[in-house]
Amino acid sequence: MAVTETFFLSHGSPLMAIDESIPARHFFQSWRHDTYKDRPKAILIISGHWDTREPAVNVVDLNDTIHDFYGFPDAMYKLKYTPPGAPELAKRVKQVLTASGFKRVDEDKKRGLDHGAWVPLMFMYPEADIPVCQLSIQSDKDGTYHYNMGRALAPLKEEGILIIGSGSTTHNLSH
């Protein structure tokens, strides 16, 4: 089954994980019913919260939940979303990127999912039964670089991989 769409999702505040009044939560909960009904073979998620000098993929058998925020209610730090990893997808991501001219793609064999990945996914796919691979961004690179990365990743859709970008156009906690 080929996937025809690629999505960029504004993941909003991580508080939506515990606050039912946040509208983004309702959008993600209705994802499979209203937006994307097909079940992907695996998910490649690119979160604005994993920024590396060179592209990197997490290569794990089981994704841990990274609580990469501070100052939130205690309930936030108790949440877990642990879908299977997608090590074969990580290898495939490396393959398509290097074949497209990206000189280096690192492997992180310990990294789980940051909140830009697990918060929306926990509502989109609450069963946590679809393998997930996370790919980092390179904020020091320009739009052309990332556009070319997207073009390189596009063939994965033909393999049943759902590609999701997660973040926000106005969200930067480091400034």
What DSSP letter does each residue of 109-151 carry, written as one string? Answer: SS--B-HHHHHHHHHHSTT--S-EEEEEE-TTS-HHHHHHHHH
With respect to residue 163, please indicate whether it lies within any of the assigned structural domains: no
What distances in angstroms separate CA 90 from CA 11, 16, 26, 97, 113, one per listed residue? 23, 29, 30, 11, 14
pLDDT digits 0-9 by tens, 16-63: 787 888 888 888 888 888 888 889 999 999 998 899 999 999 999 999
Phi and psi dihedrals of 140, rounded to 5?
-85, 0
CB atoms under 10 Å from CB of 18, counted, come to 15
Domain-embedded: residue 69 = yes
Q: Which residue has the tokens 């994307």?
A: 36
How much is the pLDDT for 173? Answer: 54
33's torsion region: left (phi>0), alpha (psi -120 to 50) or beta? alpha
Task: Establish if 169 belongs to a structural domain.
Answer: no
Q: 124 lies in a domain?
A: yes
- SS3 at position 77: helix
Residue range 77-89: average pLDDT?
96
User: Is 31 within a domain?
Assistant: yes
Model pLDDT for residues 104-116, shown as the tens digit of each residue: 999 999 999 999 9
Q: How confident is the model at residue 175 (pLDDT cuts 50, 70, 90)?
A: very low
Kindly state whether residue 170 falls inside one of the protein's structural domains: no
Residue 56 lies in a domain: yes
pLDDT of amino acid 147: 96
Identify whether the C-beta of residue 84 lies closer than 8 Å to the C-beta of residue 132: yes
Domain extent, residue 132, equals 6-12+25-158
Give the chain's domain count.
1
Concatenated DSSP letters for 143-158? HHHHHHHHHHHGGGGG
The three-state secondary structure class of 95 is helix
Q: Is residue 1 part of a domain?
A: no
- pTM of the complete model beyond 0.85: yes
Domain CATH code at residue 29: 3.40.830.10
Q: How far apart are CA 77 and CA 67, in angstroms?
A: 6
Distance CA 154, CA 162 (A): 10
